[in-house]
Amino acid sequence: MNQLIEKLKKRWEIETIGQLILILFIFSITGMTALYVRKFAFGWLGIDEHTALWVEVIAWVGTVFPAYQVLFLFYGFVLGQFEFVWRFEKKSLQRITGMLKRSSGS
């Protein structure tokens, strides 16, 4: 367990176990809040168990994914870890755009 903690601290460029716990908490509350956003957005859009999967996927990408990103930044700011969260977001978005560019053949 100690090796995992040290590996995460090194990978995420953080110094204390307190920061690590706080960052894991930020991931957790962001995910839980995103579930509420999904429930609200899907209800508002009229998506239910009879909706085609492709419609759900498009709705998820259009609502929940961006909401998660904003919530992650918000919670990181409120809990004093904005620098880490911003750096993490930039890396994640660079990976996503890189995958999209490779899949489009550019």
pLDDT in tens, 60-69: 999 999 999 9
Work out the average pLDDT over 50-59: 94
pLDDT at res. 99: 81
Structure-derived torsion over alpha carbons of residues 51, 52, 58, 60, reported in degrees to the nearest 10: 50
Give the model's pLDDT for residue 96: 82
Percentage of residues in the chain having pLDDT higher than 90: 83
Q: How confident is the model at residue 77 (pLDDT cuts 50, 70, 90)?
A: very high
> Above 90 in pLDDT, residue 56?
yes
Nearest to 5 by CA among 13, 17, 15: 17
